[in-house]
A and B are shown apart, each in its own frame.
Chain A
Amino acid sequence: MLPQVTDDPGLQVLRIERRLQRERAARLEGEAIAEKGLRELYEKQQRLALVETIAAASNQSASIEGAFNLAIKEICKYTEWPLGQAYIVHCSSEDLRLEPLQARHVTDEDALRPMIEATSATSFVCGEGLPGRVFASATPVWVQCLATDRNLPRADAVVACGIHSGIAFPILVGREVAAVVEFFSYKDQEPDAALVTLLGQIGIQLGRVIERKRAEDRLIYDASHDGLTGLPNRLLFRDRVDRAVARARRISGEHFAVLFIDLDRFKLVNDSLGHAAGDNMLVEIAQRLHGVLQQHLAAYTLARLGGDEFTVLLEELDSPNKAMQIGKLLIDALRTPILIDGQEIYASASIGVTNITGTEPSPETPLRNADLAMYRAKSLGRGRVELYDIGLHDIAVERLRLEGDLRRALVNKEFILHYQPIVSLETHEIIGFEALIRWQRGPQDLVFPGDFIGVAEDTGLIVLIGGWVLREACRMLAGLQARYPRPEPLAISINISPRQFTQPDFIDQVRRAVLNSGLEPRSVRLEITETVAIGDPERTILVLTALREFGVRISLDDFGTGYSSLNYLHRLPVDTLKIDRSFVTGLGLTAEGTQIIRAILVLAENLKIDVVAEGTEQEGQIRQLADMGCHYAQGYYFSKPLALPDLDALLDSSAPLSKVAARTAD
């Protein structure tokens, strides 16, 4: 059965009107829902567009300021906030502060001037003011009513500008607050969670800009600085010198100079105490140099070129003499010993100075000149400052010529050997000789090793020269032994240079020289310096052990002048210690000189090692050495180094023996 429906026309009209009203209400409700949806969609799109604009700009921005400027402008445009500005965290030696960044958007500069000025003049510590609170909490801070806010250093400016609300949010790099952006509104802005989320997203984009800039800065810094000391490296130093040369050309009355600093015998520290200790020492030295420069100069660049080489560019000097004074101060700064791993190390440096004239063709020129002056300082005895002059250039040219001459000398067989007797202080007999090289450069021109061995070392010619010395000395001794047979055959001491020792076939070279001469290996003593011995300790021990097994003997030269530890000495297969002439000279002069020799003799006795004293010149020294139990000596007191014919004459006469006997008998 169907429901009853009224057929009264009046009732039907009323019913239709009700239906219409419902339809209208439904339409209005539908429209309201659609409008709300459209409005939200629109706002979402706007927010998305804002983030996209800022993200795109952030990816392309060349600078932090540029990216922040754009972001602040876009946010102000979107929110209609009249003022937005940024701070960046600045790390000083005392604390972390928020410093104003050159990024600001302002709609009405005149009206907001008090706030801008108050901001430009202020920096905020953690927790202070609106940005400081963001810095402390690493979260956004929304102050709806600034008038009642108690933590507001800029309260006066806020009142003067009629600002009502303040909003600030952090720019994070990881969890660290790297910057803060703040906005102000004239209106009473209620906190808006969606907007805070939006600002957070923008913060992520800006954080990436800072992160990228930091990575860039780091790369540039690394490329231009020394990793160990943090000082500028060669690249940056060259650039600074280049600019200094250009300035010197333009400006008269302002003086510039370059200092080249090379540490003396730094390699010994590295070799004996290890590279970590060497590194610590370099850092300490860099700090000391810095300290001096900071105290005396307004403008300078201290750089580390590598290894133990430092350079300084001095600028704005009032006189050209100032650079030498600074050089001396730098040397003084190294006088106090440096404590490395509980050990006191005495550092010293040789410094070359050159004034920049402005006429240098390239930044390399002042560097090279200072380098030449530094070499000069080294050759004059280290620990000193030398000023470049044109003569040094001539010296460098001379060195080159010397190198050429040395090569020819090898070919032309211009080298000869002289021999200095080594005498037993017990029996007063000559027991052997030390072979010493000379260069017969011309008929009347005999060159001593001090004048050419350095160049030979630097150029590697020493390997060839040393090989010749080894063969020649063995050959000579074989002849001598044949002419002067003894129950204990005469022996020969041959100096081995560091470079020669490091030759991979060094052991074979020695074997061949000895076997070819027909000598008993035990007649040959190889003299190595402490520098050689500690260069590569493990290899040194292997090589020396092999040589001893072959039968030759090992003598440690210049003992006491280097840094070798006693523990290491104990492990070295050594037959003889040679007491350096510097100690012998001190003998009898000071109590210390005598004590040092006594200590070496006691040590040698315990280790069952022979001792030869070098550089004996006076009778008193001989007597004292003999009394203290020193076995052997050599020096001018007995005989200067002799050419072979004179050597034969000496052995024939046996005069020195009687001389020794006569002088030590009474």
Chain B
Amino acid sequence: MLAVRGVAKAFGPTKALSDASLAVRSGEVVALLGENGSGKSTLVKVLSGVVRPDAGELVLDGRPVRPGSPRDTLRAGIVTVYQEILVAPDLTVLDNLWLGSAAFTERSERARRRARAREVLDVLSPDPIALDGPVSALDLMQQQVCVIAQALLRDPRLLVLDEATSTLDVTLRDRLMAEVRRRCDEGAAALFISHRMDEVLAHADRFVALRGGVTVGELPRSGADAETLVRLVSGEEATAQRRSTRRGGHGLQRTVLEVSQLRIQPSSEPLDGIVRAGEIIGLAGLEGHGQDEFLQCLAGLRRPAAGEVVLRTGPHGAGTTVRNYRQAVRAGMAYVPRNRKTEGIAGVLSNLDNFTAPTLRRDARLGLLGRARRAARYRRFAEFVNLTAPPGKAVVHLSGGNQQKVIVSRWLAREPSVLLLNDPTRGVDLRTKQELYGVLERLADQGTTIVMLSTEVEELIGLMDRVLVFHGGSCAAVLDRSEATRERLVSAYFGHGSGATGSEEVR
């Protein structure tokens, strides 16, 4: 019914998709699997018309589809439920359900619109949802039901569910999947993306895996189990990895960071742990499973639901409980945020200005800035991170890698004892990545504690002393350097902390 062939899409220098192909037959539920950054969500965006592909073709029911906008693909019969809950909060439930469809403005259709909306909502949700209240008065789960109902009301030929069930409870999920199955039996089809392995196994007829923007394989339902799927997603070939040459033995070093009974959300499992000076800790997990929130708790940017974070950076291991960001910074913490453009840099300023912004005081004597002092300090750190761009250049004109170097060196200039990084190698070219790894290792050797969120399996395996894998808002697995293999990591991503190999310690 739907055939996708050789779709490619690049965002700037990053290739999100290079050769993605997919076929979905009428009556079928296909699961699309892949790690973070494998191109899943880009492929969904291509199918839904949000993103225009650079190459490749889409054929629906024998006719080529040229998606220019969601409007086009919706008219063609491809209806997508997105990962985010996209509703117009100020409109009523009824208006949201019919928004953008052809019947939206027909006044004569009014009664039919109400009846159909009622019908679909009742199929999905056992609790009635009022049609005339604003969507903003509903809770997240009900809003998600509205989004799904909107999709079902369009009678899709192909229904694309991108993590659409994440906020639904078990009852609603079962109702939805039963409805999807019913529609498929009537000749529609569904493409299904989920981070829950059990769900994927229970509902899909076929599995297609993406890796690095390429379709790497598929499996029929028969013969597929969690283990084979993980292998399909992660790839069996042992990639030639860069293994850290550092000695891991920091066992005698003092404790720098202590986490006790920390819960990110009220529902998450409590986490205890210590991090010593000179350790590099990786935080991993599929997008949105709690690793980001955990890092923000460490930085004092977010309050945990319970428990505390203590920075033992004072003399003789005196501790500071992290209450807010300012105080954490004063205690020797530095945080490199994820989104360079919005959180990290002041684009129009030169990279010298960007570098000095948080540490300006160190260049001042009697409140006056010393230009030479500033330049000397900049040179020292630029050398350390191997930044060659001229100091006077506006940061926006630098490459992503160089921007990242400016930001990292800026925080290094504070000489932190704990450095937190939120996915620092995202959108950075390969060479700079390697350079950054080198910088981090040298820092760790000098005794800096590094906690780094990463979405790249390679660097989690190659760089970290330990990796904490998050699933469903809790730390689901802790892998030591010796245990961290690609397969185990991916398996832990999908909540199979002990399933695939059965030897990790799961907290």
A and B together in one complex: no
Which B positions have Cβ atoms within 8 angstroms of A? Answer: none
